[in-house]
Amino acid sequence: MQTIRVENLSVAYRGKIALQRVNLELSAGKLTGIVGPNGAGKSTLMKGIMQLIKTQSGKIFYGEQPLNRQRQKIAYVEQRQDIDLSFPIDVFGVVLFGTYSHLKLFQRPGKKEKKLASKCLEEVGLSEFANRQISELSGGQLQRVFIARALAQRAEWILLDEPFAGIDAASEKIIIELLKKLRDEGKSIVIVHHDLHKVTDYFDEVILLNKDLIASGPVAQTYTTKNMEKTYGSEITQMLGVGGAGFAT
Ligand code: ADP
Ligand code: MG
């Protein structure tokens, strides 16, 4: 298990700062939440880690190596609004795509890959949806399909941007239980999340972000009233009601 290390990451869009000199280490084998207000740079941090955007500065390491050389170890699912769901592909096809990173150039997935894809679909409980078009899935099912794709990729890390946005409570519960199980089996999971009431229940570690890194580390030491006020402003405790957000201290 390798950690992901972010060194001095700065991102600006058209001259406007979105992330400012962020240094942090993501612990392997944990469920980590990235928390912060709208526009805080949470999605930018994930894209920066995956090196999908232009950065002002910064290096990303996977263990001791530049992350770029180990990209297939990390699966990333962007915010749903950024995914083209009109693309004509069925559930099995999406999961099978996960196996491509282990194939040689121009090699097509064969029996072995198809078997793996089936197994991964089974693991997320969606075997009977294999032939369904992705446009015909609920938001929660779609997230599970992407998790299955990550498993087919044999990714060690799974990065999910707002997987619970617009999803009903029952589906959210199925997904978080699935992610906790994968964490217990040794995967490392990182989630952009904005429902503050769930932080202590869901995560081992938390990253508080508002352009600057405010704090990061184990929930008990990091998810404190003081840090949350630094992240959201002093109104946050009032808004949530004292104790309402279940801050650690
Ligand atoms: P979050 O995910 O925390 O809501 P984002 O990382 O999406 O925040 O965005 C951080 C800031 O950067 C916001 O002010 C947003 O408007 C801006 N931003 C994000 N993506 C772009 C883009 N492609 N072009 C211009 N500005 C962007
Ligand atoms: Mg976002």
What is the tens place of the pLDDT at every residue in 134-170?
999 999 999 999 999 999 999 999 999 999 998 999 9
Distance 38 CA to ligand 2 centre (A): 7
For ligand 1, atom 26, name the residue with the nearest CA. Answer: 13
The pLDDT tens digits for 208-239 are 999 999 999 999 999 999 999 999 988 887 77
- Answer yes or no: are the C-beta atoms of 150 and 100 closer than 8 Å: no
Distance 40 CA to ligand 1 centre (A): 8
For ligand 1, atom 25, name the residue with the nearest CA. Answer: 13
Q: Is the predicted pLDDT of residue 185 greater than 90, yes or no?
A: yes
Q: How far apart are CA 138 and CA 171, in angstroms?
A: 9
Q: Is the predicted pLDDT of residue 240 greater than 80, yes or no?
A: no
For ligand 1, atom 18, name the residue with the nearest CA. Answer: 13
Q: Is the predicted pLDDT of residue 188 greater than 90, yes or no?
A: yes
Q: Is the predicted pLDDT of residue 36 greater than 70, yes or no?
A: yes
Chain centroid to Cα 49, Å, comes to 11
pLDDT of residue 245: 62
**Is the CB of 42 within 6 Å of ligand 1?**
yes
Q: Is the predicted pLDDT of residue 243 greater than 60, yes or no?
A: no
Q: Is the predicted pLDDT of residue 241 greater than 70, yes or no?
A: no
Portion of the chain with pLDDT greater than 70, in percent: 98
**Is the CB of 207 within 6 Å of ligand 1?**
no
- Answer yes or no: are the C-beta atoms of 247 and 224 closer than 8 Å: yes
In the CATH scheme, what is the homologous superfamily, with its name and number, of domain 4-240? P-loop containing nucleotide triphosphate hydrolases (3.40.50.300)
The pLDDT tens digits for 115-129 are 999 999 999 999 999
Q: Is the predicted pLDDT of residue 242 greater than 60, yes or no?
A: no
Per domain, the residue ranges of the chain are 4-240
Q: How far apart are CA 240 and CA 3, in angstroms?
A: 33
Q: How confident is the model at residue 87 (pLDDT cuts 50, 70, 90)?
A: confident
**Is the CB of 39 within 6 Å of ligand 1?**
yes
- Answer yes or no: are the C-beta atoms of 188 and 157 closer than 8 Å: yes
